[in-house]
A and B are shown apart, each in its own frame.
Chain A
Amino acid sequence: MKIYLTRTQTRAMAFDHPIGDPTGGPAYGEKRDPLSAAISIFTMYTSGAAIAAEGLTLLSGLQFVGGALSLVGNITGNKTLSQIGMVAGIAGGIGSVASKFGLFDSAALDSAVGLGKSSISYADMVGSPPPLDWGTLKPSGAGESSLAKEFVSGGGGADVPPNQLNISSPGSLNTPGGGGNPLNTPTAAVAPPALQADYSFSGTSPGLKPPGGAPVGLPAAQPGAMDLLKQGKFGDAAAAAGSGAMDMLKNNPTGAYVAAKAVGGLADWLSGKSDAELEQLKASTGYANAKALEVQATVDKEKMRRANLNAGYGSVNAGFKVNPNAVVAQPPGLVAGAMQPRSA
């Protein structure tokens, strides 16, 4: 059985064997390394009905990034990512495979992320020690500690004031009807306003209440910053991003630069990638043309070489003709041109 090397392996072999994989590969007209294979498979399946299947789960989300994981995995030689990427693109995706293997239990979702639990801590989510100290994620009008601090402290943070958001406390997080708990009172510390607008990701927020108010579908009724960006209303988009974002632009030039760069790229991407895709297509087309011309020139060169070889180099065809009798008019040189006859 032929074993096709990864690009990483091919690159490594290139140190010893300048021609790369000595037994196959692109030099032999074969483009069947795992990266190419995975991308081909991924492209084939993601364009079809598999990706539009209903009942998608968290694991099936891997299906959407199968190509990206294959790319990263094969470039770096990370076997796990390569495998995930390949499996994700095959036969309905990794979600169905996982279901077949009984790995994903939807009931586990609630218990795992605390949706059905009265207590959840950051340590429950990502283990210990926590990777990020969200200690400075401070709600408006709150003290030094906050939602994030509470997550970091795992619910038992003694330094968290009692009137602040306590994720670990039973029923303290956006509990419908929980008007008496700290989060649902106007004076309580809540999440930063800039973040609040994005709480409802699917357009509904059954449990989200404004301080002291009735439940409303907060973000679904209002166009978000990115919606406005897509519509070209940049001023409104900036306003929709919230005062926190505007302050960040003023006070944090580096962050603002990065955010603006990212959001700008994202805006192109969100708008259906029309312009970006067009540019990419143009670039790809130009590249393909250049490669085609290169191949054509190489073929012509090889034909000429063979013709010369067969002719025994009796008369070499260099691919161009020279007229030995040609007279090329040359302009005078700098000195000669500058020399002027003296006037009498």
Chain B
Amino acid sequence: MATGIIQDKMGRPEGDEITTKAVSDNIKIPPKLQKAYDRVVIAGMKIMFSKESHRAMLQEIQKPGPLDQRLGKGIAGLMLLMFKESNATMPPDVVIPAGIKLMMEAVDFLRDSGLEKPTNSDIAGGMEIMISTILEKFGVAPDKMAQMLSQFSNENIPNMGA
């Protein structure tokens, strides 16, 4: 059946699945930090997929509990571990972007391997938990962050019904 003009013109919602590519394409790293960012991502992937730690990651990811918690806390722990191990040579700016990227790589792994089926909600929840955990460890309390976001949004962004 042919669709009407209105239906033809309707913007379709986003795809069903948040993909690594879509997220990666929206991570904009300035050139001066690109190399550091690359190194952090590669180091994180080595830890996640290297022989020494891959089995541990598999065991942990299959433990019971909400997947978003496991993703968020796991990647946050990984990023903080690497930050610590870098002896502060890792630029703080790349911690969260690299964490987002690594989380999507982990999600890809879960999907490809069939171990879990992360939903969009799991991914979003994992990102939120990861960011709040990292910020908290860097001295930004989650409640203050939320307050700041809310206040700034109210002051500067028109009501969008988000």
* Structural contact, A199 and B46, CB atoms closer than 8 A: no
Q: Within the complex, what minimum Cβ distance (angstroms) separates B99 from chain A? A: 9
Point out the residue from B46, B90, B162 that lies within 8 Å of A82, measured CB to CB.
B162
Closest to B87 in A: A207
Alpha-carbon distance A176/B105, docked complex (angstroms): 35
In Å, the complex CA distance between A225 and B134 comes to 27
Q: Are B18 and A75 touching (Cβ within 8 A)?
A: yes
Task: Give the residues in chain A near B108, CB-CB below 8 Å.
Answer: 258, 261-262
With A59-B140, A72-B127, A131-B60 known as contacts, the answer to whether A90 contacts B157 (CB < 8 A) is yes
Give the distance to chain A from B146, nearest Cβ to Cβ, in Å. 7
Q: Which of A7, A19, A241 contacts B7 (CB 8 A)?
A: A19
Confirm or deny: A174 has a beta carbon within 8 angstroms of a beta carbon on chain B.
yes
Write out the residue numbers on chain A whose beta carbons fall within 8 Å of the beta carbon of B97: 61, 64-65
21 A–B contacts, CB within 8 A, in A order: A26-B9, A31-B11, A46-B28, A59-B135, A64-B93, A71-B23, A71-B26, A90-B156, A120-B84, A124-B137, A125-B77, A125-B81, A134-B81, A194-B50, A195-B50, A199-B86, A201-B36, A245-B50, A256-B49, A294-B8, A298-B8
Contacts of B7 in A (CB 8 A): 18-19
- Contact-residue bracket for chain B: 35 or more
Q: Given that A19-B7, A133-B59, A192-B50 are contacting pairs, would A198 and B43 also be in contact in the complex, using a CB cutoff of 8 Å?
A: yes
Are B128 and A78 in contact, CB atoms less than 8 angstroms apart?
yes
Q: CA separation between A312 and B49, bound complex, in Å?
A: 70
B160 at the interface (CB under 8 A from A): yes
Hey, which chain A residues are within 8 Å of B145, CB to CB? 98, 103
Q: Are A262 and B105 interface neighbours, CB within 8 A?
A: yes
- Residue with the highest number of chain B CB atoms closer than 10 Å, among A60, A91, A226, A255: A255
Given contacts A61-B96, A62-B96, contact A113 B135 (CB under 8 A): no
Residues of B within 8 A of A6 (CB): 160-162
Binding site for A on B (CB under 8 A): 5-11, 13-14, 18, 20-30, 32-33, 35-36, 38-43, 45-47, 49-57, 59-60, 69-70, 73-74, 76-78, 80-81, 83-97, 100, 105, 108-109, 112-113, 120-121, 123-125, 127-128, 131, 133-135, 137-141, 144-146, 148-153, 156-162
Interface pair B84/A113, CB less than 8 Å apart = yes
Give bound CA distance, A251 to B153, whole Å: 50
Main secondary structure of the interface of B (DSSP, over half): helix
Between A and B, how many residue pairs show CB distances below 8 Å?
350
User: Is the Cβ of A80 less than 8 Å from the Cβ of B149?
Assistant: yes
Residue numbers in B under 8 Å from A60 (CB-CB) = 93
A68 touches B84 (CB 8 A): no
Which residue on B lies nearest to A116, using beta carbons? B88
Which residues of chain B come closer than 8 Å to A124, judged between CB atoms? 137
A32 vs chain B, min Cβ distance (A):
8
Q: Does A179 have its Cβ within 8 Å of any Cβ on chain B?
A: no
Is there a chain B Cβ closer than 8 Å to A238's Cβ?
no
Which residues on the B side are within 8 Å of A83 (C-beta)?
149-150, 153, 162
Given A148-B53, A201-B39, A262-B108, also A87-B86 (CB < 8 A)? no
Q: Do residues A248 and B50 form an inter-chain contact, with CB atoms below 8 A?
A: yes
In contact, B46 and A132 (Cβ under 8 angstroms): no
